[in-house]
């Protein structure tokens, strides 16, 4: 099976996977990936376009939202995080994120909150 041209033009620029190390370089916690040997279905990853379509159905209207692939250790799944920032005059910017199970394409959660920017007083005056 070959990927469609839509899947090949994925908007994903990066994924977030981390390794926690001691000061000596020993591994404390390895890369967060699902336990595929215990659940072979977790080897399947739905295209980012599936997560983006679900986010659009739920109200994300920006034509090119931010899309990242991360690992949720508590659920032992990879997650497509589809986010957009919206602004309204006189209000703080808001970030809305649709978290989609990357193995099934099902909605995990939906969050909206204030995007805090320029938190250091005077920071904008000193940035050049």
Residue 87 within any structural domain of the chain:
yes
pLDDT at 6: 42
pLDDT at 80: 93
Contact (Cβ atoms closer than 8 angstroms) between residue 94 and residue 83: no
Tokens 């007083």, located at residue: 121
Residue 125 within any structural domain of the chain:
no
Residue 79 within any structural domain of the chain:
yes
Q: Which two tokens stand for residue 94?
A: 């808001």
Residue 5 within any structural domain of the chain:
no
pLDDT at 119: 57
Residue 61 within any structural domain of the chain:
yes
Q: Domain range for residue 111?
A: 14-119
Per-residue pLDDT of the chain (128 residues; tens, 9 = 90+): 333 444 434 444 445 556 667 777 776 665 666 677 777 888 889 999 999 999 988 888 766 678 888 888 889 899 999 999 888 888 888 888 999 999 999 999 998 888 776 656 655 554 44
Number of domains in the chain: 1
């Amino acid at each position: 099976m070959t990927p469609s041209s839509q899947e090949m033009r994925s908007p994903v620029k990066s994924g977030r996977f981390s390794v926690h190390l001691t000061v000596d370089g020993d591994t404390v916690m390895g890369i967060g990936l699902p336990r595929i040997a215990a659940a072979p279905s977790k080897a399947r990853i739905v295209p980012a376009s599936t997560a983006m379509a679900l986010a659009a159905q739920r109200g994300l209207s920006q034509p090119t939202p931010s899309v990242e692939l991360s690992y949720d250790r508590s659920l032992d799944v990879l997650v497509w995080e589809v986010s957009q920032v919206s602004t309204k005059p006189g209000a703080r910017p808001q970030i809305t994120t649709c978290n989609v199970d990357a193995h099934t394409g099902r909605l995990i959660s939906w969050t909206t909150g204030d995007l805090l920017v320029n938190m250091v007083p005077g920071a904008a005056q000193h940035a050049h």
